[in-house]
Amino acid sequence: MVIRKKFLCALLAALMIFGTASAKSKKKSKSGFKSATPSTEAAEAASENGEVTEEEITNDDNPDTAWQYLEWIEDYPEYVQKYEVVIEEKKDDKTDWKEINRLFTEDNITRVQIQPLLTPGLYRYKVITYDLIGIPEIESDWFEFNIFRAYIPQVRNVEASVTHSSTIYLDEINDGLFTVTGRNLFELQESPTDTSFTTYEVINVRKKNADPIIPNIIEFSDNNRRLRVQFDMNELDTGTYYFTATDASGLTTANGKENTFVVKFRKAVDFDVSAGYTCPVIVFGDRMKNYLNTSVLPISANVKIALMPFKRRFGYVGIGIDATYSRLMTTTEGYELDGNYITGNLLAIYQLPIRIKSKKDSTKLRHIVTLEVHAGGGLAMFNDTKFHFPHNISSEPLNSFDFCAMAGISGQVYFTNRLYAEIGADFVMPFIQSLPMGYIKPVAAVGWQF
């Protein structure tokens, strides 16, 4: 008889022993494998000790609380009298598959209860159909599955080696090493026959849908209660993270304060204030140059305030205010001109701090330079600007408000952690219909970071 392989069996993942808080409810796995559910006493033991043993399950007096089923989906043939299920076990990678059980269904129901219960290990099964006269007809492919030992992993503390706390600072030197303590922290899976292992990952509390970060495990303790892990520090940005452990059966660390660590900067917010000299140079706008009889406004000053509340590994983002005052004074043939020209702009700011190792303390980083780009818009104002002609004749004072735009770059060189010198250049364009112009504003200033 030719045995045709046209039978579809459900793939399965298995859990023979697992710790759960609901003791009397039977659960069916998504893959089609049903597994033993611990009794009330076993569930309590899981909560207290973090582990449910095989003995606690199989010694229960109630047979309904300890069971395993295989289920499959029938695709072909249409008429079946019964099914035979062949189960084989593989002890390790060096041994062959060995048949350990053959089970028959009483009728054509596509489910069979496994007796005796399978212990943790690597198994495979196939299903054989019997036709209406009791002759084996169709045989399925082999399908592998694992039965894992289940342990409730616990993470009780996550400590950075540099700070000896659960907090690390991005503006300091970090080696990415952490010590994780808890219970049931097993080694990673090395072989398909492993029945006890743990996987580890780190999840951003605010970005739970983002891809998890996988730490590099560099040391396991013999008692499965301590890990030494290392992160690529380029993968960690500011935020709060959960260090989670998941055992082979799918049991996962409960997230809370104990398995949390924080990545941040020493200062959550920077507030920079600088003031200095500027000398605007008009690069286009002939009418303004002719009125002033110059393209340079040498009597000028500049003030800038920056608030940087969003500090990330890629840089700082914030807002600021830039204000410039220029005194207009010129004497030319036929008239004199004097007055005030003021601009104020609200800016969006990006800063990139540059740090090097401190000479005084090799474990610290010293902030030496900040590179900045900024852009925004605001108002340009002429205030009490007049033409003075011979014979004490003066024009009406000009007081105007017009919109303007500004964009520029700057660099801040830090002498101390707070005191810095700033050098930069901005391009400013006032939108004055009667006096179209644009000018470059170089700035040299001294600042203080609060």
58-67 pLDDT, tens digit each? 333 444 446 7
Q: Give the pLDDT of residue 229.
A: 96
337-363 pLDDT, tens digit each? 899 999 999 999 999 999 988 777 666
Q: Give the pLDDT of residue 147.
A: 86
Cα atoms found within 13 Å of the Cα of residue 268, Cβ hemisphere only = 2
Q: Give the pLDDT of residue 366.
A: 86
**What residues pair up with 201 in beta bridges, in sequence order?**
244
Q: Give the pLDDT of residue 68.
A: 84
Could you give the domains of the chain? 14-148 (2.60.40.10), 154-264 (2.60.40.10), 270-449 (2.40.160.20)
185-232 pLDDT, tens digit each? 999 998 888 888 999 999 999 988 889 999 999 999 999 999 999 999
Q: What is the pTM of this model?
A: 0.68
Distance between CA atoms of residues 102 and 96, nearest Å: 18
Contacts 24+ apart (CB under 8 A), 425-431: 426/322, 428/280, 428/324, 428/343, 428/345, 428/380, 428/404, 429/404, 429/405, 430/343, 430/380, 430/402, 430/403, 430/404, 431/380, 431/402, 431/403, 431/404, 431/405
Q: Which residues, given as ranges, of the chain have pLDDT below 70?
A: 1-66, 75-77, 361-363
Residues 6+ apart with CB under 8 A from 78: none
Cβ-contact 369, 388 below 8 angstroms? no
Q: Give the pLDDT of residue 49.
A: 39
